[in-house]
Amino acid sequence: MGTSATVNPADPSGDAPLTLAEPPPQTLGLRDAAGLWGDLGISLLLPVAAVFVVLPGRLVAAVPTLAVLLPGVVRRRREAGTA
């Protein structure tokens, strides 16, 4: 029941290596890592910000929250439009 596969280390397909002994085809760059952390930060920030916006009588907290969220939303929309 053994299967054999030939592995080409110069394969640019981006697939994960078959074993841990082989190096990965490429690593994340600084821009990729920053994008992933930024997406995680936004994903964690939005539910917390929504609590401050939705709670009645908390308009004081809503203004700074919107001031922080608005540039991020505009930037993401611009990036989505150019991709």
Across 38-47, average pLDDT: 87
Q: How far apart are CA 30 and CA 23, in angstroms?
A: 19
Output the pLDDT for position 8. 57
Q: How far apart are CA 12 and CA 1, in angstroms?
A: 29
Across 37-46, average pLDDT: 88
65 vs 13, more confident: 65
Q: What are phi and psi of 22, to 5 degrees?
A: -90, 145
